A = this chain, B = another copy of it.
Amino acid sequence: MVFEQRVKMSDVARTAGVSVATVSKVVNGRYGVAQATVERVQQVIHELGYEASLGAQSLRSHRTNVLGILVAEFEPFSTELLKGASREVAGSGYQLLAYSSGDGEGAAIGWERRSLARLSGTLIDGAVIVTPTVVETKHGFHVVAVDPHTGPSGLPTVDSDNFAGAVLATDHLLSLGHRRIAHISGRPDLESARLREAGFRKAMADAGVPVDERLVRVGGFRTETAASTAAELLALPDRPTAIFAGNDLSAISTVDVARGLGLGVPDDLSVIGFDNIPESALVDPPLTTIRQPLQRMGAESLRLLIDLIAGVERDTHIQLPTELVVRASCRALR
């Protein structure tokens, strides 16, 4: 075991025979140090393996070249974003710091505000916040919201076209001949859920198919609640022949319930989801769904953040297209 304390700037200074002020100038490439001194100090830095403390550095300078991604939890959705963001940040001169408050379930509301308060001003130069519910904007600190849960706020935002995606999903079912189509909607307080329901209604209206209101029910985007909703729908005397679930979790849950009732998917019931989380391809049957380009959303949000910090004038609302992914959970009505 090596006995080795953290090597700090004063250690470098002492070894090189200069002051810490000079070392700082060398590290930051500032003017006013003799060439010979620069080289000597750099030599010592290299030998001692000195690296500036992020904490101390940011405390003083309010500039760290680190960007933050704040998430409630590292689950499939946010990690996909992370991959895209990571790719975008490479070569930009920034480093990436992903932070999770880690309160179980990410349930504690206001996590984004707390995490932001903890890291902003010090530590990071800007942040991407994933699926925030409440947003408030601090002066002089740049924030980009990805897939925000409330409607358009003042914040720069990256999201996908939930409305068009829902139309796509509904049209797909319609084109397969389905008419009794149900919709399991998400949490009513979430903008994305509202848009998906609106898209569903629009597609039905355009096709001249009246919506049976008993077939539109809240599923809450969650496995358990969606399951009971699906059970209700399938217990109806004239049950739907197809279900458009508000997200993939609900869809997967719906398939399970149908199975439990002895209904085959897609033989007796077609199910389509939304999101295209990686799990959707792995379930049986593989889920037909609407893809949100998550990695690209991650990349775009980072690009947007970097541009904002650099002061580039640009559009601050990016909406990416959604896309139909046909797998095996839907089939034509016989």
Contact = CB atoms under 8 A, between A and B. Distances in A.
Contacts of A288: none
A90 to B, nearest CB: 4
B113 A102 contact: no
Interface string A66-86: 000000011110011011011
A94 B102 contact: yes
Interface residues of A, number: 60
A55 interface: yes
Given A5-B139, A54-B119, A59-B53, A97 B95 contact: no
Contact of A113 (B49, B80, B85, B90): B49
Given A53-B121, A113-B49, A117-B50, A6 B278 contact: no
Contacts of A122: 53-56
A102 B95 contact: yes
A138 interface: yes
A99 B74 CA distance: 13
Given A79-B82, A86-B100, A102-B90, A6 B55 contact: no
A332 interface: no
Interface in A274-288: 278, 281-282
A51 B114 contact: yes
Given A73-B90, A96-B74, A100-B96, A137 B2 contact: yes
B86 A74 contact: yes
